[in-house]
Amino acid sequence: MFMAEISFIGAEAVVTPLEFLGFSAMEKTRVRKRYRNGSLDLRLRKARTRAEARILLAAKNVVAVPSVLFVGEDRLILEKVDGTLLSKLPVDELAKNLPKSAKNLALLHSAGIVHGDYTVSNQILQPSGVLAVIDFGLSKISNAPEERALDVLTMVKSLPSGGELSSNRNSAQQCTSFSPSGDRWQQPASYASTEAFNRCQQASSYRPAGRFNRRQQPPRFSPAGDRRPQLSRYAPTGASEKPTGKIQSLPQRQAPKFIAAYAGFSKNKKIKAQVNAILSRARYATQQGA
Ligand SMILES: Nc1ncnc2c1ncn2[C@@H]1O[C@H](COP(=O)(O)OP(=O)(O)O)[C@@H](O)[C@H]1O
Ligand SMILES: [Mg+2]
């Protein structure tokens, strides 16, 4: 087949299915960002491609990740992982799989790997029930508790808002979720119910107008291309679930469950305590309106 069937256009990369050496594969090409200086852009794309390949190889020892089949300058060819993104699962299915997700994250962290974009859109539940982790484009080797806590927060922040979303809110807003890679308008959160799923499907052609248009959207974090979010950007977990009129991305009902499971699987007591301290600080800061 000459033409790829479907491409996934993410914040950073275009991912296209193809066949490679007889394997079902995905080619992930990092695309140029117009808002970045040309040579910086190329340098970043090359570095991130190499880093992603290296970390995928390291992560393979601890969790299910796609095999690396080819490494180019700005592209990788990866084994295709069959299954369903966590973001596409109904919320009860997602809830069932959260402990696996938490365990995977704790295992990655124990191996010194920080994912950098640990969200429901970067985990695939395989038909075997094994949960695979993908998209190591923002990953790094780090033991810093802050980095680990950010992974936990990023995951928690990407969880769906729960079943009782306000009916007066724009249904497309209910479909959005947060990701450090910035593609919040692209990837729907998991669906709280079949009804929510249908609403999101109907609204899937929705694109926010004006300054929120993806193409016109400025870099969300830093013009230097460092898109790591700051702790203060996270909303509190466990706060009121009443609709506010704003995009309500938290609290996610499952957040405490995920955090508890993560803590349970986290072996290093010191790191665990530090991560917990950061999580409660972040919660406190956001409750204060930071
Ligand atoms: N190895 C893979 N197997 C199956 N699907 C994949 C694979 N890699 C990427 N995808 C699909 O492509 C999408 C975007 O890929 P990802 O690596 O997350 O790039 P981005 O950095 O743009 O988010 C994913 O959400 C997933 O649906
Ligand atoms: Mg992704």
The domain segmentation of the chain, as residue ranges, is 8-79, 84-287
> Percent of the chain scored above 90 by pLDDT?
46
Which CATH number does the domain 84-287 belong to among 1.10.510.10, 3.40.50.970, 1.10.10.60, 3.40.50.300? 1.10.510.10
Secondary structure (3-state) at 91: helix
Going from the Cα of 269 to the center of ligand 2, the distance in angstroms, rounded, reads 30
Residue 101 and residue 154: Cα distance in Å, rounded?
13
Low-confidence residues of the chain, pLDDT below 50? 1-2, 162-178, 183-251, 290
Range 14-19, long-range pairs (CB < 8 A, 24+ positions): 17/80, 18/77
83 lines ligand 1 (CB under 6 A): no
Helix ranges (H only) for 159-244 are 171-174, 194-202
Fold: same for 8-79 and 84-287: no
Locate the ligand 1 atom nearest the alpha carbon of residue 135 and give its number: 17
Q: Please say if 117 is a catalytic residue.
A: yes
Adjacent-strand bridge partners of 70: 77
Residue 131 and residue 147: Cα distance in Å, rounded?
22
| Maximum Cα interatomic distance, the chain, rounded to a whole number of Å | 56
Going from the Cα of 281 to the center of ligand 1, the distance in angstroms, rounded, reads 32
Task: Report which DSSP code applies to 90.
Answer: B
Locate the ligand 1 atom nearest the alpha carbon of residue 121 and give its number: 25
Going from the Cα of 117 to the center of ligand 2, the distance in angstroms, rounded, reads 7
Residue 206 and residue 143: Cα distance in Å, rounded?
40
Q: What is the reported pLDDT for 288?
A: 57
Backbone angles phi, psi at 70, to 5 degrees: -160, 140
Q: Which ligand does the CA of 10 lie closest to?
A: 1
Residue 237 and residue 169: Cα distance in Å, rounded?
20
* CATH fold label, 8-79: Phosphorylase Kinase; domain 1 (3.30.200)
Four-residue CA torsion sign, 112, 115, 120, 122:
negative
Q: What is the reported pLDDT for 287?
A: 59
Q: What is the pLDDT of residues 75-84, one digit of tens each?
A: 999 999 999 9
Considering only CA atoms, which residue is closest to atom 22 of ligand 1? 10
120 lines ligand 1 (CB under 6 A): no
Going from the Cα of 150 to the center of ligand 1, the distance in angstroms, rounded, reads 21
Considering only CA atoms, which residue is closest to atom 16 of ligand 1? 135
Spot the catalytic one: 117, 135, 151, 183: 117
Bridge pairing between strands 13-20 and 68-71? unpaired
Q: Which two tokens stand for residue 244?
A: 């506010």
